[in-house]
């Protein structure tokens, strides 16, 4: 379907449920981009055996497309001093869920229990904060972006997929809360910050 190699097709074919896709991504080491920012294609993720958030999301989206689903991404935008995040969306029985590649405990897989993309995006709000101050930093989320807008060649491209990042940035975004609501938002407490301050893949890990 995507001019996959036999080994690539074997991986795509085997990952035929969202849970299997997420389990596969969880086992991939984190791409710490030590030599500069990357936006690896699904092919390059499989070859290099590592991924960061948008790379994991694009691989998940490609696998969903292979199995006849829509290849959907959502951009989650945070405070200017924090990192943004990209997730792959899926639907089961009319409800939304998400695949996520992250190095932290809170911003992970979402079961398909959300009625709308907004409900899904809001599920990330409470867990997204600065570890020192506890200030919650998720600002907005994008409309779902269908990667069918691009030629199928992105799945096996040898180039960084900056065009996907550009499209996500240009897609309409919706604020999580209005400015008048900000004063009612409580910072994460010390026990919440301590529980969230874990990293799965260390930068010094030899496999990354």
Region 87-96 average pLDDT: 98
Six token digits for residue 109: 């897989």
| Total count of domains within the chain | 1
Residues constituting the chain: 208
**DSSP letter, residue 55:** H
C-alpha pair distances (Å), 118 with each of 16, 47, 104, 122, 123: 26, 34, 22, 6, 9
Domain span at residue 165 reads 6-196
Q: What is the CATH number of the domain that holds 139?
A: 3.10.620
* Residue 146 burial (C-beta neighbours within 10 Å; 0-12, 13-18, 19+): middle
Model confidence band, residue 205 (pLDDT cutoffs 50, 70, 90)? very low
142-160: pLDDT as tens digits? 999 999 999 999 999 999 9
Question: Is residue 204 domain-resident?
Answer: no
| 202 — pLDDT class (breaks 50, 70, 90) | confident
Residues of the chain with pLDDT > 90: what percent? Answer: 86
Would 201 be classed as within a structural domain? no
- From residue 105, alpha-carbon distances to 64, 65, 100 in Å are 24, 27, 11
Q: Which residue has the tokens 């180039």?
A: 159
Cβ proximity of 38 and 55 under 8 Å = yes
> What is the reported pTM?
0.94
Return the SS3 of 62: helix
Q: How confident is the model at residue 197 (pLDDT cuts 50, 70, 90)?
A: confident
């Amino acid at each position: 379907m995507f001019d996959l190699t036999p080994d690539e097709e074997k991986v795509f074919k085997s990952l035929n449920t969202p849970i299997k896709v997420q389990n596969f991504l969880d086992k991939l080491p984190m791409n710490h981009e030590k030599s500069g920012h990357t936006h690896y294609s699904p092919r390059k993720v499989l070859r290099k055996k590592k991924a960061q958030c948008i790379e994991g999301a694009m691989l998940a989206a490609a696998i969903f497309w292979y199995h006849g689903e829509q290849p959907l991404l959502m951009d989650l935008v945070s405070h200017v001093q924090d990192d943004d995040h990209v997730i792959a969306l899926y639907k089961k029985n009319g409800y939304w869920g998400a695949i996520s590649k992250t190095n932290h405990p809170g911003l992970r897989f979402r079961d398909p229990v959300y009625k709308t993309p907004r409900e899904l995006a809001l599920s990330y709000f409470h867990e997204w904060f600065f570890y020192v101050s506890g200030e919650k930093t998720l600002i907005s989320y994008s409309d779902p972006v269908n990667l069918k807008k691009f030629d199928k060649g992105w799945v096996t491209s040898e180039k960084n997929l900056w065009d996907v990042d550009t499209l996500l940035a240009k897609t309409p975004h919706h604020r999580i809360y209005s400015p008048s609501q900000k004063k009612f938002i409580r910072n994460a407490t010390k026990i919440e910050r301590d529980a969230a301050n874990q990293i799965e893949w260390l930068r010094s890990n030899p496999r990354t």
